[in-house]
A = this chain, B = another copy of it.
Amino acid sequence: MNEEFVSRNFKSDNVSSVCDPIMAAINAANSGSAPAYGGDDFTRKLQTVASDVFGTEVAIFPVTTGTAANALALSQCVPPYGAVYCHETAHIVTDECSAPEFFTGGAKLIGFPAADGKIRPEQVAAAVAYAVDMGVHHVKPGAVSLSQATEWGTVYELGEVSALAATAKRLGLPVHMDGARFANALVHLGCTPAEATWQSGVDILSLGATKNGALCAEAVVFFDPARARDFERRRKRAGHLWSKQRFVSAQLLAYLEHGLWLDNARHANAMASLLAEGLSHVPGASLLQSVDANEVFVALPEATVAALERQEFAFYRWPLSAPPAGVAIRLVTSYATPRAHVDEFLAAAHSHART
């Protein structure tokens, strides 16, 4: 319907449609009446399946946006007078219109710089030392939040996660992981979901599915169910408890049960790798970040970028605090990105570079 969207779209993975198995699951869930508010069988089964997937008993709470998942998760572990330590360009800082502040009742997000999107244990330690020194006048250290994959398309290695978590633990802070693109990170790491999370010290995960093929499915996962005390009331009073919750749970079941989440992510990552590999051979192009997941940040000459835009490739020009030569753009692939679009993009980029 919309002209823009007949084009080859690398704007975000959230412009994608719903993948077939998930749409099938939604349709299948629609048979007769069912108990409301999560009393249904799909939601019950999800607890078991998620626990199996993560190799430990988890408490999992479906919601329908990443912002809700993150803000609810943080509100559960950070007091109104607390600090959340995170990257300065984390989604919770720049893209959620102060939802974390709203849900926590006023906690402060303290963002650290890091060119590759990965915060460091020593940044957390220094911030906590400062807070301790300031005492009651400053916000109280509350939690560490990291994004996996990061906003810059990079992925924390397991050792990096566990080092960060070890510092957090030592300082008494829970660790939250914003996993809007968790499956993409997992595929990159090639490890188990358990290794990527609780075995590396993560306490709470915002698990995303919407960007990776779902219609509207995210979840807050507590690796220690005792941490989830009263969480259902937080979800309810935020308006995120659905009466027909089976339709979210069914999406997550389809997503997790038979490896769909990994298959989808694998494709998305592969398309991003192809883009990166191809761009590395384009004269004048320079990759700005390691392409670990499904996002490519690349600098190209202004003329090339303008030409690509004219050819109906959709993507964002990306603002950088330290801009490179040329123009920085972001390309995002998804489970639904056709190989042909990647090839066309690379061919076009090559062609403009030559001229």
Where the two chains meet, the residues of A that have a C-beta atom closer than 8 Å to any C-beta of B are 1-2, 4-6, 9, 11-12, 14-18, 23, 26-27, 30-37, 40-41, 63-65, 67-69, 71-72, 79-82, 94-99, 101-102, 105-109, 130, 133-134, 136-140, 210-211, 215-216, 230, 232-234, 236-244, 247, 319, 336
Contacts and interface: CB of A to CB of B under 8 A. Distances in A.
Given A15-B34, A97-B136, A97-B137, 17 more contacts: A5-B34, A5-B35, A16-B33, A23-B27, A65-B243, A67-B241, A80-B237, A81-B97, A94-B137, A96-B237, A97-B138, A97-B139, A98-B106, A98-B108, A99-B238, A102-B238, A105-B105
Contacts of A1: 34, 40-41
A165 to B, nearest CB: 24
A71 B102 CA distance: 14
Given A99-B237, A106-B237, A241-B67, A17 B34 contact: yes
Contacts of A238: 68, 99, 102, 238-239
A293 B297 CA distance: 47
A106 B102 contact: yes
A118 to B, nearest CB: 21
Contacts of A242: 64-65, 216
Given A63-B239, A67-B236, A139 B98 contact: yes
Q: 4 nearest interchain CB pairs?
A: A68-B239, A101-B106, A14-B243, A97-B237
B244 A215 contact: yes
Contacts of A31: 17
B107 A101 contact: yes
A258 B106 CA distance: 41
Question: Which of A64, A82, A107, A336 has most B Cβ within 10 Å?
Answer: A64
A241 B230 CA distance: 24
Given A133-B319, A210-B244, A319-B130, A17 B33 contact: yes
A81 B233 contact: yes
A26 B215 CA distance: 10
B215 A247 contact: yes
A230 B35 CA distance: 36
Nearest to A93: B108
B96 A233 contact: no
Contact of A99 (B26, B140, B236, B319): B236
Contacts of A71: 239
A96 to B, nearest CB: 7
Question: Which of A16, A72, A336 has most B Cβ within 10 Å?
Answer: A16
Contacts of A4: 35
Given A30-B23, A134-B94, A102 B237 contact: yes
A317 to B, nearest CB: 10
B97 A233 contact: yes
A33 B336 contact: yes
Given A17-B32, A98-B237, A79 B247 contact: no
A32 B338 CA distance: 11
Contacts of A102: 80-81, 105-106, 237-238
